[in-house]
Each structure stands twice: as C-alpha cells, then as structure tokens.
Amino acid sequence: MKTNPSNISVVILVVGAFAIRIGYCAATGTLGHTPQKGYREYVMAGERLLASGTLVSPLILDDAKAGRSSLLPPGYVALVAASYGLFGVESWAATVMLQIANGAATTIAAGVMWLIAGSVGGRRAAWGAGVISAVNPTLIGFTSYIWETSLFSVGVAVSVWLSLRLARTPARARSYFVYGLWLGALALLNPALTIAYPLLVLFPLWRTCGANGKRLSIGVMAAVLGWAIAITPWTIRNYSQLGELTYVRSGFMLELWLGVCPEADANGAAVYDKQFPLNNAEVQRKVAEIGEGAFIKECGRKAKEAIARDPMRFAKLVLMRVVDYWTGAALTHAEPGGGVLPRSRGRLFVMVFFSMEVLVLIVVLFYPVNSPGITRWLIGIIVLFSIVYCITHVQIRFRTPTEPLTAALIGMLVFGRANQTGIPDRRGS
C-alpha cells in the first residue's frame, strides 16, 4: 500500500505549525502561566462558572457573585471551566491544556487552508497557504492567551471550507440545515462572523441553484432554521435571567463607547487605562455599584451622545480604525502590535506582515489569477468581518480570525496555477 505524498506533506505542515506554537509559549515563558493583568476575562468567567454553575460578570473583581452576565459568549468559557474542573483553577496543567487547544486550533486552520488553496490553485498554492498560516505571527502569538481567538480562527476556516464543499454538491435542505447548526454553534463561541453568514450560505446555493428562487429559498430557510435552533437555548437563558433579548453577547455598546470615548483620539492604550473596568479602579467601583447590565447601557447612551454631538469626529475615528485594522494597528493612533510581540522589532514585523497581505488582497481583488468568483467571495468575507471592529474599536487580535483566509488568497495568487478551480458550476442542474 502506497502512502499519498500529499498526505505526508500535510502531516509535516501540521506537526511543524504545532511545534512552532508550543515552542513560542515555552520561549516566551508563558507556557502554563496565565497573565495577572490584562486578558483575564475568560479566566475569571471560567472560574466563576465552575463555582456557581452560571456565567457571572467578569467585569467586577471583588464579588464572584456579582450578577449573571451575557458579556462573553458561552463556548470558550465552558472550555475554560472544564479545564479548571479537571486540573485545578489556573493550575499549570489546566493552562497548558488550554494553550495546547489554542495551538491545535490554529494548526488545524493551516491544514484547512492547505485544502482550500489546493482545491483552487493546485499543490503549490496549498503549500503557500499552509506555510503562511503556520508562520503567521498573530496565529502564533495568541496561542498563550486564555481567549477564544485561536478556536474562533479555526471555526472561521472550517466555515469557509464547509461552504466550498456545499458548492460541490447538489443543494439539499438537510445539508444546509446542518450547516446552519454549525454556524449557530460557532456564534456561541464568537458571533463576530455572523455579518458574513449570508455570503457563506448564498455562495454555494448560487453555484448549485443559480436563479432558481424556490431552491434558493429552501436552502436559506434550512440554514436559518439550523442557526436558530443552535442559538435558541442561550437566547432563552439570557432573556429569562437578564430580562432582555440579546444576540449571544451584550457587550456591543461597551465596545462602541471604547471607540468614541474622549481618549479614543489618543493612543489606543489610553482607552483601556481610563475606560475599561478591569484597568481603572474608579470605573470598577461604578460597575460594582450599578451592575454590569446598567453599566453597558450607560456606555451605550454616552456613545450615542458622543456620535450625535460630533458625527465628523466619529467618521474620522472610523477611518483611522480602518487604517489600523488593515495595517496591524500601527499607523495612526493605536499601539502597534497590540502586545502580541512586546519588542519594537516584533511589532514592526507584524505591521509589515499585515500591510503586505493587504497589498496582495488588492491585487487579488483587481487581478484574480484563480477562480475570480471564489477569490472575490473570500475577500468579501474578510471585508465584512472587519466592519464591526472598524465601527467600534480595533486591536490586532480582531484581525487574527480571518488571517487563514488571507493566507489562502496569497497562496492562490502567488503560488497557484492560473485558471484552476475545484468548484464546478452546477447552476440550473
């Protein structure tokens, strides 16, 4: 029995990518250690879920029973709580297990990009996409963080891969129902990709059904039904315990306020020092006094007032965030590198890496070498994903989940064979 050389190549890629991620944690001294400042929301939420059986606000430090919360999606909190339940709260073993899960997630994302780029641009495109995903600085850097970024990154990659698989087969309501279930489950990990769900569902339907309105409608309704079933239990929980309807999480107005508060015109770090509850004692006391829900509503009121008072300032801030988002949060007012790589050279590397990717995306948009429909569809997903962050506020972490898709596009453009596609067009069949 002969071994497929491509299978060996994928194994080499996956093993190498995983070793880089865990090696990074070991080299930076973060393996098995959680931060004592910053990025502790999931640590606190997981510990409190384990102790109380429900999500309790991670914005209030001194009271573990400080009120039920919908600030964070439940998916990663449950994983943290499970790890703490098995190995001990913030223990070395529990933290290592979570970091291994993070590293494995972005390693799998590199493998998925291999499959996507290979199906469109051939073997060299697969290698290009896989290697770029394997060495991407943010996909590596967030391995040590107890945060959902890494798992969400592979969730985005798998969502795109599943959509492409649907585009290869005749449309069936059952397949789109299952895909809707997947998208709903992904929203419970992080709902940020929801803005691109229409593209993910309509692309394969259009490829297989064309303008057949009945078949399109059946596929869309099946996907929406699956998505709704997946999110309904958590929606009911939020309404019954918090008295309001929210889509998975309730932090949008807090994020909007962080993007328009007085400090937003200055360095991005000043926003968190002055306005974020876990970084400012005065704001922390206020949240403890009025509760998480009332605090977020107040943030929303102040944000709306600030935007209405000076819409041109808001437009300027959005434009600055667009630049920040696409260049690695480095060219206008936000802190470069976002703390992933603490040294100035590392931050410069992130900025250059991201900026070069943007140049490639522009080339792909106007000169798609491989399958124009697929490449522009991928760009559409990436751009849609960025909109919410450009409206609210930007950190380098927010761009990370779509980095594997960018790697696939680069692989197809730079290394792929022209005019190759593994996605047949079955419209009208």
Centre a 10 Å sphere on the Cβ of residue 216 and count the other Cβ atoms it contains.
18
If phi > 0 it is left, if psi is from -120 to 50 it is alpha, else beta; for residue 38 that is left
Q: Which of 76, 47, 77 is nearest to 64 (CA)?
A: 47
| C-alpha to C-alpha distance for 183 and 409, rounded to whole angstroms | 22
pLDDT band (50, 70, 90) for residue 391 = very high
Measured distance between the N- and C-terminal CA atoms of the chain, rounded to whole angstroms: 38
Q: Report whether pLDDT(300) > 50.
A: yes
CB 403 within 8 A of CB 133: yes
| 231 φ/ψ angles, rounded to the nearest 5 degrees | -90, -10
Q: What is the dihedral sign for C-alpha 284, 289, 292, 297?
A: negative
At residue 56, what are phi and psi to the nearest 5 degrees?
Answer: -110, 145
CA-based nearest residue to 18, from 82, 127, 106, 95: 106
pTM value?
A: 0.91
State the pLDDT confidence band at 65, using cuts at 50, 70 and 90: low
d(C-alpha 354, C-alpha 371), whole Å: 24
Residue type, 68: R
Q: Virtual CA dihedral for 45, 342, 392, 192, nearest 10 degrees?
A: -60
Residue 424 is predicted with a pLDDT of: 44
User: What digits encode the pLDDT tens for the residues 123-145?
Assistant: 899 999 999 999 998 899 999 99
Which residues have a Cβ under 8 Å from the Cβ of 359 and sit 6 or more positions away? none
Beta-bridged to residue 150, according to DSSP, are: none
Which of 339, 6, 325 has its CA nearest to residue 142? 339
Residue pair 337/330 in contact (Cβ under 8 Å)? The answer is: yes
When comparing pLDDT for 344 and 8, which is higher?
A: 8
CA 165 centroid distance within chain = 21
Task: Supply the pLDDT for residue 352.
Answer: 75
Q: How far apart are CA 361 and CA 410, in angstroms?
A: 8
Which amino acid, one-letter code, is at 213?
G
Q: What is the pLDDT of residues 200-227, one digit of tens each?
A: 999 999 988 877 778 899 999 999 999 9
Condensed to tens digits (0 to 9), the pLDDT of residues 302-316 reads 999 999 999 999 999
* C-alpha–C-alpha distance, residues 223 and 361, integer Å: 29
Tell me the mean pLDDT in the region 47-67.
84
Q: How far apart are CA 164 and CA 216, in angstroms?
A: 16
pLDDT at 230: 98
Averaged pLDDT for residues 77-99: 97
What are the structure tokens assigned to 160, written together?
């795109």
Q: How confident is the model at residue 1 (pLDDT cuts 50, 70, 90)?
A: very low
CA distance 406 to 159: 14
Please, what is the average pLDDT of the chain?
87
